[in-house]
């Protein structure tokens, strides 16, 4: 059984879908939900599902990313994760951290990578006049939002979309994609998953 730690910074909606899916014949179980933000709403939700939580507040470390990550590693190593899922985790991790966990760390990003690494992905897709957008699960390497893609879900961009309406459509697909990819990754499968909006889901 693989031990999975999930890192969050906010509401943790992706974390919740991962935790809720890790039951029964799923090859992984959640062993820790860790946030850099002591006020992250996801911490309480994780605790209510019986998952141990921890906080490593990045703010006292200021610009000393290495010191922050040393503390992060201390907490992570105590729980011995086989897999680390970044889920709405908003801190850039240094190559030192990434190499320490390389091959065992996943992230979900709200664009069809390699398009739109970084922030404000939905606004950029709309301004570029894209007719398609989506989300990507990738292995985390020392290239920000640049690791091997192991899952993508595509959604249409509608002419009257705002960044908010597109983000909501993409988030619904994130909640389908990430659990599906984690199940396969934990089982040792690496062939990428590509989803388009399921036929019955209304284009909301
Ligand atoms: C999501 O858009 C996800 O793609 C990005 O962070 C946002 C919030 O995620 N990584 P969550 O609701 O905190 O899981």
Q: What is the mean pLDDT of each run of 10 residues along the chain (204 residues)?
A: 98 98 98 98 98 98 95 97 97 93 96 96 98 97 91 97 98 98 96 81 57
Domain count of the fold of the chain: 2
Alpha carbons 163 and 181: distance in angstroms, whole number: 25
Query: To test the ligand 1 pocket, which listed residue (171, 173, 175) has its Cβ within 8 A of the most ligand atoms?
Result: 171
The enclosing domain of 96 has a CATH number of: 3.40.50.170
In this prediction, residue 91 carries a pLDDT of: 93
Whether residue 109 lies in the annotated active site:
yes
pTM value is 0.94
Specify the pLDDT at position 34: 98
| pLDDT of res. 144 | 86
Last residue of a domain, one of 101, 119, 145: 101
From 101, 132, 164, the end of a domain falls on 101
Range of the domain at 168: 108-204
Residue spans of alpha helices (H) in 31-120: 41-48, 65-79, 95-100
pLDDT value of residue 197: 80
The Cα 26–Cα 121 span in angstroms is 31
Looking up tokens 């709403």 gives: 41
Identify whether residues 116 and 198 lie together within a single domain.
Answer: yes
User: 95: which strand partners?
Assistant: none
End-to-end, the C-alpha distance of the chain in Å comes to: 37
Q: Among 70, 101, 132, where does a domain finish?
A: 101
User: Are 203 and 116 in the same domain?
Assistant: yes
Q: From 10, 16, 88, give the residue whose CB has the most ligand 1 atoms within 8 Å, as the site to mutate.
A: 88
């Amino acid at each position: 059984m693989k031990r999975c730690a999930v890192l969050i910074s906010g509401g943790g909606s992706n974390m919740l879908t991962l935790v809720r899916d890790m039951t029964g014949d799923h090859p992984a179980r959640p062993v820790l939900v860790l946030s850099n933000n002591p006020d992250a709403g996801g911490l309480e939700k994780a605790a209510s599902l019986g998952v141990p939580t921890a906080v490593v507040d990045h703010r006292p470390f200021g610009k000393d990313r290495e010191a922050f990550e040393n503390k992060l590693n201390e907490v992570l190593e105590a729980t011995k994760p086989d897999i680390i899922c970044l889920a709405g985790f908003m801190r850039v991790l240094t190559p030192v951290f990434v190499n320490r966990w390389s091959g065992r760390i996943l992230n979900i990003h709200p664009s069809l990578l390699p398009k739109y690494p970084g922030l404000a992905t939905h606004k950029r897709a709309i301004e570029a006049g894209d007719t398609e957008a989506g989300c990507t699960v990738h292995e985390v390497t020392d290239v920000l939002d640049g690791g091997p893609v192991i899952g993508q879900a595509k959604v249409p961009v509608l002419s009257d979309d705002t960044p908010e309406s597109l983000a909501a459509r993409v988030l619904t697909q994130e909640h389908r994609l990430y659990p599906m990819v984690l199940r396969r990754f934990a089982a040792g499968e690496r062939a990428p998953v590509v989803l388009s909006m399921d036929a019955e889901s209304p284009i909301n």
